[in-house]
Amino acid sequence: MNTLKITGMTCDSCARHVQKALQQVPGVQQAEASFAEGQARYEAAASVTTTMLVAAVRKAGYEVVQDEVSPVTQNGSGEARHIAVIGSGGAAMAAALRAAERGAKVTVIERGTVGGTCVNIGCVPSKVMIQAAHVAHLRARSPFDDGITAVPPVIDRRNLLRQQQNLVDTLRHAKYENILQSHTDIELVHGEARFQDGHTLNIALAEGGERTQHFDRCLIASGARPAIPPIPGLEETPYWTSTEALVSETIPEYLIVIGSSVVAVELAQAYARLGSRVTILARHTLLWHEDPAIGAALHNVFRDEGIKVLEQTQASRVDHADGQFVLTTHRGEIRAERLLVATGRRPNTDDLNLQDVGVELDAAHAIVIDAGMRTRTADIFAAGDCTNMPQFVYVAAAGGTRAAINMTDGEAELDLTTMPAVVFSDPQVATVGYSEAQAHEAGIKTDSRTLDLENVPRALANFDTRGFVKVVAEAGSGRLLGVQAVAAQAGELIQSAALAIRAGMTVQELADQLFPYLTMVEGLKLAAQTFNKDVKQLSCCAG
């Protein structure tokens, strides 16, 4: 019999669920599962693929470790398979390490700083800055000011920046540079790669000269860069992108932010809390791709903190003179010392010569891939921000791992149906699964409930009831479809929602679970209870 390693089973009942799920796959002749062994055995017709089995197990709420196949370490010439990886960020590193584990020889080509966006100019420095701004905000203003004297802090931006960049350097060395340097099966090449054909790269070396690199398979993990809107006059000004904003040694007195998505929201609030007077120009509304209630909640928070949000507003021209930006809008001129452009990111695909090797791009210049990270060109894969998948580092890393498995003749796919997402504003925004609008677009009828945080004991104890938890379920069945939350620590509670959706739970099953009292995640249980109860009529910790 064949064997699958299963994770997520916690008892013999789980094993029976796995066994039943496998038995229902057309072509499976026999199946049995063991909680004690953490695996399932099966016999099946040749038409049954690993992907079919994995999908069945996942639908039951469990996971298959798909890397159990013996890696194919040789190419057609009997040598170790050679894999080229363009980039050195989250997707690239995950792929290089997994491919090397599976017996491949790997060449990583990086044209800039090793480590990619997240550790250098994205997730890590931004979250340090956001946390510093949060501390500054609490020292100046908190719900407990009647009993704890508030003292507006003095901001030493240079020292904060030094602390921030020290962590960036430490993590880059530990998690990227040192690993690459010490790995005997991975070579790091500094240079810019460009496809010559479907199995050859031309590399313009950073040290000078060129190198021709042949490969059996290649992963494109070239990342993305800030997208700059075509506003007249903008290109002639010293505007900031997130890269410059994160390393500025000064806090401007006045800051304008163009944009309304994640980066715009996070950095606008951080700068405001560090002392800037901030105006946001939003073409639509804040976080307009999300449930409208999310943007409305953040707008109210920002207004309370003195951040001016101009919705449905665009700049028709940008000028810069005498150290000041002047933006022309239908509301009149808006002036500031600094301008931050945060209108999304554009995939780094322009200089790879992809058209000559048949790699398809979408309208946003992102590489089109399937769930296995395959492009339309044989032996060329892609993962991370340069693709048409969501631009999150954990998605990139997961994609890189699955690409490596597939490039070494394994079989793995990336399932994004329960992908959580977090915006590190205060309060945080966290989402997973379907919003109501997305479910309706997919033809699913919904039933939903929204629980204001004034009904969550943890929020009451914090004297901070800004926000809500919204649960979206399938009408009739009550099956969980999605959760949207605006709350302190929403990013911590959303993973419980993701696991509940992955397990196929109903709102009643979620409401019946035990949640620790006086935690924010208890709001998830209370929101589920509202489908059948008036939670205002429950005692504090009623089950």
Could you give the residue numbers annotated as active site? 9, 11, 14, 62, 118, 123, 540-541
Strand runs labelled E in 342-467: 345-347, 380-382, 421-423, 428-433, 446-452
**Nearest in space to 459 (alpha carbons), one of 522, 410, 407:** 522
Q: What phi and psi, each to the nearest 5 degrees, are found at residue 479? A: -65, 135
CA dihedral sign, ordered 191, 248, 387, 489? positive
Phi, psi values for residue 254, rounded to 5°: -125, 135
| Residues 417, 387, 403, 107, CA torsion sign | negative
- Pairing mode, if any, of strands 428-433 and 254-258? unpaired
Strand, coil or helix: 367: strand
- At what angle are helices 12-23 and 50-59 packed, to 10 degrees? 130
| Residues 101-121 as b or e (16 or more Cβ within 10 Å = b) | ebebbbbbbbbebbbbbbbbb
Beta bridge partners of 42: 2, 31
Instruction: Find out whether 280 and 260 touch, Cβ atoms under 8 Å.
Output: yes
Q: Is 182 exposed, middle or buried (0-12, 13-18, 19+ CB in 10 A)?
A: exposed
Token reading at 296: 């409305």
Local structure of residue 340 (DSSP, 8 states): E
Instruction: Classify residue 238 by its DSSP letter.
Output: -
How far is residue 24's CA from residue 541's CA, in Å, rounded to a whole number?
A: 40
> For residues 291 and 438, is the Cβ–Cβ distance under 8 A?
no
**Token digits of residue 427:** 């309060």
Burial of 174 (0-12, 13-18, 19+ CB in 10 A): exposed
Radius of gyration over alpha carbons of the chain, in Å? 25
Contacts of 355 (CB under 8 A, 6+ apart): none
Helix, strand, or coil (residue 364): coil
Mapping DSSP onto H, E and C, the string for 132-157 reads HHHHHHHHHCCCCCCCCCCCCCCCCH
